[in-house]
Amino acid sequence: MKKKMEDGGKHMSIRPELIDELLKECTDPTQLLAEGGFLKQLTGALVERCLQAEMDVHLGYPKHGKRDETTGNVRNGSSRKTLKGSQGEIDIVVPAIGMPASNHS
């Protein structure tokens, strides 16, 4: 039976094979928590993936997909940001949004 989360959802179960695949190149356990180690890299990658998915939903099309000309918003590159949290600082790439050049007045 899966445990309930505070918001009423269910905990996501992570397959042991996935963890094994992610950790196969980790030869020293200290690499997991070290500065720039696996945990920070994984956290940064997950945050970037979530931001990209949020952008896909907001714009209505995936990155490199055919855009909807009626929305007016387009992808406009990205910028680097630093997250500060319990794991220290994590550098991420944040997708940017803009208006098409033809819509500027």
What's the pLDDT band for 103 if we cut at 50, 70, 90? Answer: very low
Tens digit of pLDDT for each residue in 69-94? 766 778 888 999 999 988 889 999 99
The three-point CA angle 75-77-80 to 5° equals 130
Residue 7 domain-assigned (yes or no):
no
Residue 49 domain-assigned (yes or no):
yes
What span, in angstroms and rounded, lies between the C-alpha atoms of 11 and 26? 26
Could you list the residue range(s) of the whole structural domain that residue 55 is in? 29-103
- pTM, rounded to two decimals: 0.71
SS3 of residue 99 by DSSP? coil
Structural contact between residues 19 and 42, judged by C-beta atoms closer than 8 angstroms: no
Q: Is the pLDDT of residue 62 over 70?
A: yes
Residue 69 domain-assigned (yes or no):
yes
Q: How many domains does the chain have?
A: 1
Residue 23 domain-assigned (yes or no):
no
Residue 34 domain-assigned (yes or no):
yes
Secondary structure letter of residue 32 according to DSSP: H
Cα end-to-end distance, the chain, whole Å: 58
Residue 22 domain-assigned (yes or no):
no
